[in-house]
Chain A
Amino acid sequence: MVATTAKSASKDQAPERASKPSKDVDRRLKRLDITMKRNQYKGDALIEVLHAAQDAFGYLEEDVLVYIAQGLKLPLSRVYGVATFYHLFSLKPTGAHSCVVCMGTACYVKGGGKVMDALQDELGIEAGETTPDGNVSLMAARCLGACGIAPAVVLDGTVMGKQEAQQVLTEVKRWENG
């Protein structure tokens, strides 16, 4: 969740190899190709390739999974099985902004739950969801390894320590207002 800064990715940006792919998609597919090539198209590089795909496209669209399955010569079921097993892979588009609240023990004991409650109220969504306008994704993390500065929150890839609900809300409201 932290490693990948969520980028906006909507349906129409997804790869459509049936029709003519746009330049943008082309470039992103190329990134995938490079990763696969660097790993000699070996099946055991699947997780690395999925990371690269999610970095490039923001999430793992079905077409991308098919593309990877073909590239690495793996059954689609295997690719899908792996993509759904790991929490960091998202099969749905994520929002333009991402807010990850750590709900690990240290953060929980220090009020991470309250921060999460406040955000859920403000955004009107649950953890793991994206606001209907596609602006903000709210996620819960197990532990970011930043327990010394609990509670920790990651806003668009930047780790922030010792957060209070009010502080985070101010930041998130800024996103909401554009």
Chain B
Amino acid sequence: MNLTELLDVAAAEKARQRPIKVHCCTSTGCRSANATAVMGNLQQAVENENLSDQVEVIGVGCMGFCGRGPLVQIDPQDDLYEEVTPEDAPSIIEALNGGSAKSIKGDAQHPFFARQMKIVRQHSGKVDPERIESYIALGGYQSLFKVLYEMEPVDVVGEIQQSGLRGRGGGGYPTGLKWATVAKMPGNQKYVICNGDEGDPGAFMDRSVLESDPHLVLEGMAIAGYAIGANHGYIYVRAEYPLAIKRLQKAIQQAKKYGLLGSQVFDSPFDFKVDIRIGAGAFVCGEETALIQSIEGGRGNPVPRPPYPAEKGLYGCPTLINNVETFANITSIIREGADWYASIGTENSKGTKVFALTGKIRNNGLIEVPMGITLREIVEDMGGGVPDGEVKAVQTGGPSGGCIPASMLDTPVDYDSLRAIGSMMGSGGMVVMDHTTSMVEIAQFYMEFCRGETCGKCVPCRTGTVQLYALLTKLLKRQATAADLEKLEALCLMVRDTSLCGLGQSAPNPVLSTLKYFRQEYDDLLVQPAYLNGTSSAAEAVTL
């Protein structure tokens, strides 16, 4: 394959396409709401209406508005239909022939859509994830060609550095710096790993990207491979995402067939093969050193860093590990340039971030917004606020993050601002809570999570999470005294400061942040110690 051939494929695909495109979401969310049947009926209707030479129905990935699925969107009109049933689906096609559609018409200009800026999700909902030609027609694999034939590896690294891109897996480490470190390491064998473990509950950005646009991630990985001198990549996907795995497998096969992955990519001396590794349900495997153990077929126990994977990673070789969303940004940076990318976002947080907006919120789903947007804009304008109620808190960063109170909704969303208020960007889960959620219960909920997910290797995390959980449970049973609360705080700090890996170090965050902003809820649960009075509550406390 060379550039002319690539452009030919794109041209042939465009010629094959019909002027009117009916996009039907077939990702996990809409699929569970019968989207497959909707799509079948749409296709049937196109035939019945004799529109086959003008209209095509395309099964696409996530359009973002998952709470209102199944979604059907029509280009070029940009009509959006929500909660489409298989029965009503044909009427949408009939409407193209002058009839009227029975399905609910959505507002494509709603802030939920209008405020978004799509880089990572640029093709989601437009491209057919199961056909590489569809991706190529949108300019796919041209960035890979560009780096192979027009750029030296150091220039590619330089471009990424200059873009200001930071890791989207939670830590926010500068991506270019990481690439530069691995590129400089000696050795013939290096690896690229894409972290698609996405263990943070309430987050599904990575699943959506993998299901909607797998080639975007594969192309990003290949560019990384060229930049750092690796010829082998692994993509680690959690087993809970069967559809993402299936689509990735298909995508890899198709790319190999076209000579865009495998040996001699684009007929150049660069080889790059990608293997999929499937997780088996362990949150800690999202941690990079644990993930490497898991790829090697072992227990997902983290190992102390340094050495960082960049020096000594998979099979002891220098390894670049980045998140799915991080890789999904690469092709655009190469195509549009680092300066363009760096012009989006804030001083220290460049580009966009995808968030999974869930919980007690009117508009549920995935959004991609420029960094620096405030939480209020996301939750109130785009999300439409809490149905019959008010926002009490927004949880970001999952089990490693914290709960941000409604009074701080004007905080801009970027790595540093969120960290400054005791939460973190995390991978992009954003769970909105209203008055029905008790903050102590939420703290207990996350501690239960960490208690169950600790790998058990280091003592502070293994036993600390158990003790913290016990203390929170005691509080919720109204059996804890002020001394217990003190103990809870002290233990939080100890677990945070002494654990081996990020799991333990950040496990106390949900407790610490709720203590900081919702202390009253903790205080309200306290009881007097038994020796101070002989009332029934104290008596209960003793029996414990």
Complex contact A106–B202 (CB within 8 A): yes
Complex contact A148–B32 (CB within 8 A): no
**Total interface residues in chain A, CB < 8 Å:** 44
B509 to chain A, nearest CB (A): 14
Looking at the complex, which of A80-88, A118-126, A170-178 is the stretch in contact with chain B? A80-88
B residues within 8 A CB of A46?
297-298
Q: Which of A83-122 contact B (CB under 8 A)?
A: 85-89, 103-110
Complex contact B281–A1 (CB within 8 A): yes
Q: Which residue of A lies closest to B67 (CB)?
A: A148
* Residue from A81, A85, A88, A147 having most chain B Cβ neighbours under 10 A: A147
A149 to chain B, nearest CB (A): 5
A residues within 8 A CB of B31?
159
A44-B297, A105-B202, A105-B359 known; A51 and B280 CB under 8 Å? yes
Q: Whole-angstrom distance between the alpha carbons of A86 and B207 in the complex?
A: 20
Interchain CB contact (< 8 A) of A110 among B200, B207, B296, B359: B359
Complex contact B200–A148 (CB within 8 A): no
Interchain CB contact (< 8 A) of A82 among B33, B283, B299: B299
Interchain CB contact (< 8 A) of A105 among B365, B395, B455: B395
Complex contact B202–A161 (CB within 8 A): no
* Residue from B241, B278, B280, B283 having most chain A Cβ neighbours under 10 A: B280
Looking at the complex, which of A12-20, A29-37, A137-145 is the stretch in contact with chain B? A137-145
Interchain CB contact (< 8 A) of B281 among A45, A87, A105, A148: A87
**Total interface residues in chain B, CB < 8 Å:** 55
Q: Whole-angstrom distance between the alpha carbons of A152 and B201 in the complex?
A: 12
B residues within 8 A CB of A107?
201
A149-B67, A161-B32 known; A85 and B241 CB under 8 Å? no
B65 to chain A, nearest CB (A): 8
Q: Does B240 contact A (CB under 8 A)?
A: yes
Q: Does B121 contact A (CB under 8 A)?
A: no
Q: Which residue of A lies closest to B68 (CB)?
A: A148
A residues within 8 A CB of B66?
146-149
Chain A 149-164 against B: per-residue CB contact (8 Å), 1 yes, 0 no?
A: 1101000001111000
Q: Does A48 contact B (CB under 8 A)?
A: yes
Complex contact A143–B202 (CB within 8 A): yes
B71 to chain A, nearest CB (A): 11
A40 to chain B, nearest CB (A): 13
Interchain CB contact (< 8 A) of B282 among A78, A85, A147: A85
Q: Whole-angstrom distance between the alpha carbons of A47 and B203 in the complex?
A: 24
B354 to chain A, nearest CB (A): 13
Complex contact A85–B283 (CB within 8 A): no
Q: Which residue of A lies closest to B208 (CB)?
A: A145
Complex contact A147–B356 (CB within 8 A): yes
Looking at the complex, which of B4-12, B106-114, B429-437 is the stretch in contact with chain A? B429-437
Q: Which residue of B lies closest to A147 (CB)?
A: B358
Complex contact B240–A145 (CB within 8 A): yes
A residues within 8 A CB of B153?
none
A residues within 8 A CB of B283?
142
Complex contact B356–A85 (CB within 8 A): no
A residues within 8 A CB of B432?
109
Q: Does B242 contact A (CB under 8 A)?
A: yes
A residues within 8 A CB of B437?
109
Chain B 21-52 against A: per-residue CB contact (8 Å), 1 yes, 0 no?
A: 00000001101110000000000000000000
A residues within 8 A CB of B431?
105-106, 109
Complex contact B32–A149 (CB within 8 A): yes
Complex contact B445–A146 (CB within 8 A): no
B216 to chain A, nearest CB (A): 18
A residues within 8 A CB of B429?
105-106, 147
Interchain CB contact (< 8 A) of B297 among A82, A87, A152, A158: A82
B residues within 8 A CB of A142?
199, 201, 281, 283, 449, 453
A82-B299, A145-B204, A145-B241 known; A47 and B29 CB under 8 Å? no
Chain B 366-398 against A: per-residue CB contact (8 Å), 1 yes, 0 no?
A: 100000000000000000000000000001001
Q: Does B198 contact A (CB under 8 A)?
A: yes
Q: Which residue of A lies closest to B62 (CB)?
A: A148
Q: Which residue of B lies closest to A149 (CB)?
A: B29
Q: Which residue of B lies closest to A153 (CB)?
A: B32
Q: Which residue of A lies closest to B434 (CB)?
A: A109
Q: Which residue of B lies closest to A108 (CB)?
A: B445
A124 to chain B, nearest CB (A): 23
Q: Whole-angstrom distance between the alpha carbons of A105 and B366 in the complex?
A: 16
Complex contact A87–B360 (CB within 8 A): no
B323 to chain A, nearest CB (A): 15
Complex contact B280–A47 (CB within 8 A): yes
Q: Does A2 contact B (CB under 8 A)?
A: yes
Q: Does B300 contact A (CB under 8 A)?
A: yes
Q: Does B129 contact A (CB under 8 A)?
A: no
* Residue from B31, B208, B281 having most chain A Cβ neighbours under 10 A: B281
A residues within 8 A CB of B297?
42-47, 82
Interchain CB contact (< 8 A) of B398 among A105, A152, A159: A105
Complex contact B32–A152 (CB within 8 A): yes
A residues within 8 A CB of B449?
142
Q: Does B295 contact A (CB under 8 A)?
A: yes
Q: Which of B177-217 contact A (CB under 8 A)?
A: 198-204, 207-208
Q: Whole-angstrom distance between the alpha carbons of A50 and B277 in the complex?
A: 13
Q: Which residue of B lies closest to A152 (CB)?
A: B32
Q: Does B69 contact A (CB under 8 A)?
A: yes
Can you list 17 contacts pairing A with B, beta carbon distance less than 8 Å? A2-B242, A44-B297, A78-B298, A82-B297, A86-B280, A106-B356, A106-B429, A109-B437, A142-B201, A142-B449, A145-B204, A145-B241, A146-B28, A146-B204, A147-B204, A149-B32, A161-B29
* 6 A-B pairs with least C-beta separation: A148-B66, A104-B201, A86-B280, A143-B201, A87-B281, A106-B358
Seed contacts A51-B239, A82-B299, A85-B282; 9 additional CB < 8 Å A-B pairs: A42-B297, A44-B295, A82-B297, A87-B281, A103-B201, A149-B32, A149-B67, A149-B69, A152-B32
Q: Contact residues of A with B, CB < 8 Å?
A: 1-4, 42-48, 50-51, 78, 81-82, 85-89, 103-110, 141-150, 152, 158-161
